[in-house]
Structure 1
Amino acid sequence: MLKHTSRRTVLRILVGAGALAFTLAHPLVAAASDLPPADDPRFLPALLDAIDDLHRGDSSHALMQMKVQTKHWTRSMAMESWSRGEEYSLVRILEPKKERGTATLKVEDDLFTYLSKTGRTIKITGAMMGGSWMGSHFTNDDLVKGTRLADDFDAKAEEGPAIDGEATYKLTLTPKPDAPVVWGKIEIEVRKSDLMPARETFYDEDGAAVRLLEFTDFRAVNGRTFPARMKMTPLDKPGEYTEIRYAKIEFDVGLKREFFTLQRLQSL
Structure 2
Amino acid sequence: MCRLSQSFLISFLSLLLFSPHIAYAAESSDKVDVQALVRHVDNLWRGTTSHADMTMTVKTQHYQRELTLEAWSRGTENSLVVIQDPIKDRGIATLKVGENIWNYLPKINRVTKIPPSMMSGSWMGSHFTNDDLVKENTFEADYNVSLTFSGMRDGQKIYEITALPKENAAVVWGKVVMDVIQSSLTPTRADYYDEDGKLIRRMTFSDFKKVNDKIVPMIMKLQPEDKPTESTVLEYNKIEFNVSVPQSFFSLQSLKRRH
Does residue 240 of structure 2 align to residue 250 of structure 1? Answer: yes
| 1:208 Cα offset (Å) | 1.1
| 1:133 Cα offset (Å) | 0.4
Which amino acid in 1 is paired with 2:144? F
Contact 2:17 / 2:47 at 8 angstroms: preserved in 1? no
Instruction: Give the match's secondary structure for 1:147.
Output: helix
Q: Which residue, 144, 150, 164 being the options, matches 1:153?
A: 144
The separation in 2 between residues aligned to 1:39 and 1:152, in whole angstroms, is 20
Contact 1:169 / 1:190 at 8 angstroms: preserved in 2? yes
The separation in 1 between residues aligned to 2:13 and 2:90, in whole angstroms, is 17
Does residue 110 of structure 2 align to residue 117 of structure 1? Answer: no
* Match of residue 20 from structure 1: 8
Instruction: Give the match's secondary structure for 2:200.
Output: strand
Contact 1:63 / 1:79 at 8 angstroms: preserved in 2? yes
Contact 2:15 / 2:75 at 8 angstroms: preserved in 1? no
Structure 1 regions of 5+ residues with no counterpart?
1-11
Q: Which residue, 204, 211, 235 being the options, matches 2:201?
A: 211
With over 3 angstroms needed to count, the CA separation of the structure-2 counterparts of 1:131 and 1:212, relative to structure 1, is same
Q: Deviations over 1:90-133 (max 9, x none)?
A: 11001110110000011111111001221110011211111100
The separation in 2 between residues aligned to 1:212 and 1:48, in whole angstroms, is 17
Does residue 53 of structure 2 align to residue 63 of structure 1? Answer: yes
With over 3 angstroms needed to count, the CA separation of the structure-2 counterparts of 1:82 and 1:105, relative to structure 1, is same
Quote the sequence identity (%).
44
TM-score, with normalisation over the residues of structure 2?
0.87
* Match of residue 187 from structure 2: 197
TM-score, with normalisation over the residues of structure 1?
0.85
The separation in 1 between residues aligned to 2:57 and 2:32, in whole angstroms, is 41
Which structure dedicates a bigger proportion of its chain to helix? 2
With over 3 angstroms needed to count, the CA separation of the structure-2 counterparts of 1:264 and 1:161, relative to structure 1, is farther
Cα RMSD over matched residues? 2.5
Contact 2:16 / 2:47 at 8 angstroms: preserved in 1? no
* Match of residue 166 from structure 2: 176
The separation in 1 between residues aligned to 2:102 and 2:237, in whole angstroms, is 25
Structure 2 regions of 5+ residues with no counterpart?
none
Which structure dedicates a bigger proportion of its chain to strand? 2
Contact 1:28 / 1:226 at 8 angstroms: preserved in 2? no
The separation in 1 between residues aligned to 2:118 and 2:25, in whole angstroms, is 41
